[in-house]
Structure 1
Amino acid sequence: MSLRKLPEIKAFARPQSFQWDAPSEVLAKWAETPKAAAEEGDTVVSILDVIGEDWWSGTGVTAKRVSAALRSIGPKDITVRINSPGGDMFEGIAIYNLLRGHQAKVTVEVLGWAASAASIIAMAGDEIRMGLGSFMMVHNAWGVVMGNRHDMRDAADLFDSFDSALADIYEARTGAKRAAIVDMLDAETFMSASEAVAQGFADIVDKDLAAPAEGGTGQSRASARDHLDVLLARQGVPRAERRRLLREASGTRDAADPQDTPGAVLDIAAARQLLATMKA
């Protein structure tokens, strides 16, 4: 188990009418930074993408993948490297619980961003180290809800439960007063490395932590998708719809099609037409 007495968060039933995503302004900042990590050892778990699976590209960090990595490593001390804008709260909580239950020391290194659902994951660290120039962001549960007025009322009640669970995690890890944590979540609080340490969300600013390194052509393609994804998010387009539009802009077929090409380069003309349509 974790060396710290961290709370386990009970699993919620995933509402089918909800869609989860990272806030658009965080996606924008994260999309501007390289995603690749420095050299990794066999006891490193990398969380360098959006939380939750992207069914179009096959990317994204899921509890299933983290669980497989932990099984492969076994009961050894591990390092979890994070550079993520967040994403699916349910996956974030599941990954937090997996790391919390690891049978040895968990050291978290924030290389760039630990925002939204990624900040939940970071709280599972027995030691949390922030790299120079890194940031952490915490906020209330955020998502898109579809349905009638009854669905909306039910959603508000569910969001209260989600926010309470998040506050439980942050309160236990930081030692801060509950009211202070709630205020931070309500305000959608961004913290620099030193601010995160001062607030109890991290333990040390590590000047030796390497910033993410530039990747190759594959990363450039992913970066183009990321930037377009951000623009669509700022227009209020839900994540599922953004993935459909991005598939069209890339000239790919349905994600279930075995001939689909996840790494396809975006068709610039199609992308511009897509954005023009959104702005119209």
Structure 2
Amino acid sequence: MSLRNLPKIKAFDRPDGVQWDAPTDVLSKWALSPQAAEADDPRTISIYDQIGEDPWTGAGMTAKRVAGILRSIGSVDVTVNINSPGGDFFEGLAIYNLLREHPAKVSVRVMGYAASAASIIAMAGDEIEMGMGSFFMIHNAWGVAVGNQHDMRATAEVLAPFDQAMSEIYEARTGQKKSDVVAMMDAETWISSGDAVKKGFADSVTDRANIEASASAPSAVIAKRKLDSILASQGMPRSERRKMMRDISSGTQDATAPVTQDADISAGLSQLIQTMKK
């Protein structure tokens, strides 16, 4: 169990009609961030992708994958490296619970961004270390829903318990007043490494390079991330973005064809698509 007195969050039933996603502003920042190298230590869990499974590519970090890694690691200390824009809050809370219940020490290292659902995962650390220039970002649960006014009200009711759960986690881990935590979530707050230590979101800041082993991601990876953030900014749901990128990668999407019906995509989009195909 956690060495800290962290709340266990009850398992939620996955709500119908809501598509979880990372906020578009976070996606755009994360898209250009370096890609950390995989750790050699078998006791290290590397979370360098969005939270939640990508149904088209199989990428993304899920609770099922983390559970499998923890089983293989056994009852020994574990390190969790994070550089993620967040994503599926349902999966993020489940991963938090898994790490909280791990019988040995959990050390978290924020290597770039621990945003949205990824910030919840980070809170499970008995010790949290942040690299210079790294950030937390906390906000209210973010999802996409379609429907009439009754559907929208129902969605708000669905999201409210997630906000409550997150505020309880932040409050317990940081020692901040509940009202202050809620205000930060309402405002979508970016927290730098130094400020995170002051506010209790982290325990220390390291001057070690926050991304190890590589200065930049491969061009195809950067292209995929940029395309994802552009399409997200145009309001395209995550599931549709993933299908489009799968089609592009397999060569079935015409790079010159419109990719949205109602929005203009930047002039560089075709170039991004061509880079992804290489």
TM-score, structure 2 normalization = 0.89
Aligned 1:153-232 pairs, distance under 5 A: 153-208=153-208, 210-214=210-214, 219-232=218-231
Q: Which amino acid aligns with 1:278?
A: A
What amino acid maps onto 1:170 in structure 2? Y
Q: How does 1:22-101 map to 2 (within 5 A)?
A: 22-37=22-37, 39-101=39-101
The separation in 2 between residues aligned to 1:221 and 1:58, in whole angstroms, is 17
Of 126-135 and 54-63, deviating more is 54-63
Q: Which amino acid aligns with 1:17?
A: G
1:244 corresponds to: 243
State the 1:213 CA deviation.
3.5
The match for 1:134 is 134
Does the 8 Å CA contact 2:133/2:210 hold for their aligned counterparts? Answer: no
Paired residues, number: 265
Q: C-alpha offsets along residues 224-250 of structure 1, whole Å, 9 cap, x if unaligned?
A: 111101000111111111122223333
Task: Return the alpha-carbon distance in structure 2 between the equivalents of residues 99 and 105 of structure 1.
Answer: 9
- The answer (yes or no) to whether the contact 1:38–1:211 under 8 Å persists in 2 is no
Q: Distance in 2 between matches of 1:250 and 1:276?
A: 21
Tell me which residue corresponds to 1:17. 17
Deviation, 1:145, is: 1.1
Matched, 1:278 2:263: yes
- Residue aligning to 2:271: none
- Taking structure 1 as reference, are residues 271 and 183 closer, same or farther at Cα in structure 2, changes over 3 Å only? farther
- The residue number in structure 1 matching 2:272 is none
Q: What one-letter code is carried by the residue in structure 2 that aligns with 1:194? A: G
The answer on whether the counterparts of 1:249 and 1:271 sit within 8 Å (CA) in structure 2 is no
- Residue equivalent to 1:235: 234
Specify every segment of 5 or more residues in structure 2 that has no aligned partner in the other structure, as ranges: 266-278
- TM-score, normalised on structure 1? 0.89
Instruction: Output the amino acid matched with 1:82.
Output: I
Residue-by-residue CA offset, 1:114-146 (whole Å, 9 max, x unaligned): 000000000000000000111110000010112
Task: Say if 2:34 and 2:216, in contact at 8 Å, map to a contact too.
Answer: no
In structure 2, relative to structure 1, the CA distance for the partners of 1:271 and 1:15 (3 Å cut) is: farther
The corresponding residue for 2:111 is: 111
Query: Is the 2:135–2:190 contact (alpha carbons within 8 Å) kept by the matching residues of 1?
Result: yes
**Cα distance change on mapping 1:151 and 1:126 into 2, 3 Å:** same
Q: 2-side partners of 1:252 and 1:64: how far apart?
A: 31
Secondary structure in structure 2 of the residue aligned to 1:274: coil
Q: Is contact 2:15–2:158 with CA below 8 Å preserved after alignment?
A: no
Quick one: distance in 1 between partners of 2:53 and 2:6?
Answer: 26
